[in-house]
Structure 1
Amino acid sequence: MKIAFVGKGGSGKTTLSSLFIRHLAASQAPVLAIDADINQHLGPALGLPEDEAAALPALGAHLPEIKEYLRGANPLIRSAETMIKTTPPGRGSRLLRLAEDNPVYAACARPVALDHGDVRLMVTGPFNESDLGVACYHSKVGAVELCLNHLVDGQHEYLVVDMTAGSDSFASGMFTRFDMTFLVAEPTRKGVAVYRQYKEYARDFGVNLAVIGNKVQGEDDVAFLRAEVGDDLLVTVGHSDWVRSMEKGRPPHFDLLEEPNRRSLHAMRERADAAYARRDWKRYTRQMVEFHIKNAQSWGNEKTGADLVAQIDPAFVLGESGVPSEPSLSPQGTASAFPG
């Protein structure tokens, strides 16, 4: 299932997403984590040294190869160059499965060792000097959106995305790609303002939204959040000596996380599992197509010189029955660097 963490800058969404990833890994569940925040902090929050986190391969740097791989033998897509971030899969496309090995993961995902096993981590990549003044955040996350459109995930396997701060994700259709969106909010007016904006934008798209109250120091903070967000408040998280040690680069074993915070993580997983059980693959595919049409008509057709609406396969519905093509293998038996 697909899970997003959102919230204003400084709310603690990266910390909470890293705790949730550790919680999932502790049950031996397959986990793919994606840092889609322009401030790349998820790797260090999962325990990677800063230099190793900075050296992670950026998804955007491999976008041409990713496009070519996902295009597969889809006859409606003339070339990888005509694919944009919203291009939907169709018959002949290569699909991704969360727990498999494939060339996309081989190029862009790296294992991160946690106390109870490894998770895969992918990153959009930070702004570099050539991006300054000419690029925007959304140019970085296009590869993430394209991969989400081609991902066939199952129950009890988890994609966790640490999204950009605030409501920037609404500039793309990526906010509809998740079974569950956890909005991390501090008990402050600014914290709940982001919640209200997100709730308003998501209202017409069937987004499953739950609020995680963070940095809660007492009953007054809980009462404030309950009054402001109502039943959307799922759990609260307070001070954590475990988190403080993690932020210093010295995390104790994850089994030593405080029991109240462990209960909160358990409740979050239960809510996410319940949301996946209600997934409507037809609606999911329809939303994907609708956003592709909008992007094609507003800028994609002009940029690529092609009619991108013609890429839509009306008979195709993404679902668990989808079977990805076998990735090509090099003579050494490892996934080749696309597409094969």
Structure 2
Amino acid sequence: MKIAFVGKGGSGKTTLSSLFIRHLAAARIPVIAVDADINQHLAPALGLDEAEAAALPTLGARLPLIKEYLRGTNPRIASADTMIKTTPPGEGSRLLRIQEDNPVFAACARPVALDGATAADGASPGASTVRLMVTGPFTESDLGVACYHSKVGAVELCLNHLVDGRDEYVVVDMTAGSDSFASGMFTRFDMTFLVAEPTRKGVAVYRQYKEYARDFGVALRVIGNKVQGPDDLAFLRAEVGDDLLVTVGHSDWVRAMEKGRPQDFDRLEEPNRRALRVLHETADGAYDRRDWDRYTRQMVHFHLRNAESWGNAKTGADLAAQVDPAFRLSEELLTAPVPQPA
């Protein structure tokens, strides 16, 4: 299952995505957590200190390795240099699976132990541990010459090559606002949770997101955050309607975590735990509506658009030729053998 958390900057999407990740990990569900926001705060929200967060490997810095691995023996891709963020898999491509070890995860993912899990537990996902991947922040060399989507492109490429089942999750903390629509990554998820505060600015992002996503079949539900009473709830219901899934209010547990005083996750307030269970049930239910054919078509659609817009000129290749018309992503590929180098 692939889940995105989106919302206005400061809405609390990183906090809520971290709580959802903790909820899944507490249930011993394998999780890969991905920080794809320009403001890299997911690692601290999962309990890492500043030094630990700064030491995490970044996807953007390892993009050549990612491309070379995913390319595999695909004859339609002449070299890793011709791969762009939207390059789709085809016959011979290597795919990523959540519960496996591979060179991409070895280089880019780090186990994070939650709620007392030991370092030994952290050797693999599960047992209150998650794998954490981060895009990385802007560096001095990026300023004035690169946009953040060049870093997020590594996430999109990985999602394009991911096959996953029901009882395993990739949870992505997306970049704030409507920036997600600068690529096709917004179509890569089984469920998108939009975090909205009970304010005009909070619901404005919801309206914009829903309008952009309307033609792509994006499953979108709203989490009302910082809801302090009946008036806030009534406002969100009037503005969001049936898309409002749950609301979350003040949390002493979250406040203690933000102060660097973490408590066991089972001490999270019951109303907030109940909200997380609703999120889990909703995400799980989205699996029954998963459409692999549409997923593959949309992946190809955005690749062809990017190829024509800038990819062909940048790589000097006809990137439309990378599309394998006979290839279809499907859950059956979970058990397919991994292509080996010739």
TM over 0.5: yes
What is the correspondence of 1:237-316 to structure 2 with a 5 Å cutoff? Answer: 237-316=248-327
What is the match of residue 24 of structure 1?
Answer: 24
* SS of match in other structure, 2:141: helix
**What amino acid is the match of 1:281?**
W
Q: What residue is the counterpart of 1:222 in the other structure?
A: 233
The offset of 1:249, in angstroms, is 1.1
With over 3 angstroms needed to count, the CA separation of the structure-2 counterparts of 1:134 and 1:207, relative to structure 1, is: same
2:254 aligned counterpart, secondary structure: helix
- Measure how far apart 1:198 and its partner are: 0.3
What is the CA-CA distance between 1:118 and the residue it aligns to? 0.8
Amino acid at match of 1:137: Y
Question: CA offset at residue 324 of structure 1?
Answer: 5.5
**C-alpha displacement of 1:326:** 4.2
Residue 157 of structure 2: which of 139, 146, 160 is its match?
Answer: 146
Q: CA deviation at 1:156?
A: 1.1
State how 1:47-196 maps to structure 2 within 5 Å.
47-115=47-115, 117-196=128-207
CA distance in 1, matches of 2:323, 2:339: 24
**Which amino acid in structure 1 is aligned with residue 229 of structure 2?**
G
Q: 1:230 to 1:242 in 2, by over 3 A?
A: same
State the TM-score, normalized to the length of structure 2.
0.95
Letter in 1 for 2:275: S
Deviations 1:293-340 (A, max 9, x none): 000011101110111000100000001111465488xxxxxxxxxx89
Partner of residue 11, structure 2: 11
Pairwise CA distance, 1:192: 0.3
**Cα offset, 1:250, TM superposition:** 1.0
Contact 1:2 1:159 in 2 (8 A): yes
Equivalent pair of 1:36/1:123 in contact (CA under 8 Å) = yes
Once the 2 structures are TM-superposed, how far is the Cα of residue 120 of structure 1 from its aligned partner?
Answer: 0.3
- Count matched residues: 330
Query: Structure 1 CA distance, aligned partners of 2:47 and 2:337?
Result: 34
2:259 is aligned with 1:232:
no
Cα-to-partner distance string for 1:225-257 (whole Å, 9 max, x where unaligned): 000000000000000000000101112100010
Deviation sequence 1:193-213 (CA, Å, 0-9, x none)? 000000000000000000000
* 1:11 aligned counterpart, secondary structure: coil
Give the equivalent residue in structure 1 for 2:120: none
Do the aligned partners of 2:5 and 2:174 also contact (CA within 8 Å) in 1? yes
User: Contact between 2:73 and 2:339, CA under 8 Å: does it hold in 1?
Assistant: no
Percent of residue pairs bearing the same amino acid type:
82
Say if 1:5 and 1:161, in contact at 8 Å, map to a contact too: yes
Aligned residues of 2:93 and 2:339 also touching (Cα < 8 A): no
Letter in 2 for 1:240: S
Q: In structure 2, which of residues 206, 213, 220 is the aligned counterpart of residue 209 of structure 1? A: 220
Task: Render the CA deviation track for 1:39-84: whole Å, top value 9, x for unaligned.
Answer: 0000000000111101111101110111010000001111100000
2:286 and 2:67 map into 1 onto residues whose CA distance is 29
Contact 1:103 1:327 in 2 (8 A): no
> Is the CA contact 1:210–1:234 (under 8 Å) kept in the aligned structure 2?
yes
Equivalent position amino acid for 2:34 in 1: I
1:296 and 1:212, CA in 2 relative to 1: closer, same or farther beyond 3 A?
Answer: same
Inter-partner Cα distance in structure 2 for 1:55 and 1:203: 39
Gaps of 5+ in 1: 329-338
What TM-score comes out, normalization by structure 1 length?
0.95
* RMSD between superposed Cα atoms in Å: 1.2
Query: After TM superposition, which residue ranges in structure 1, 4 or more long, deviate above 3 angstroms?
Result: 323-328
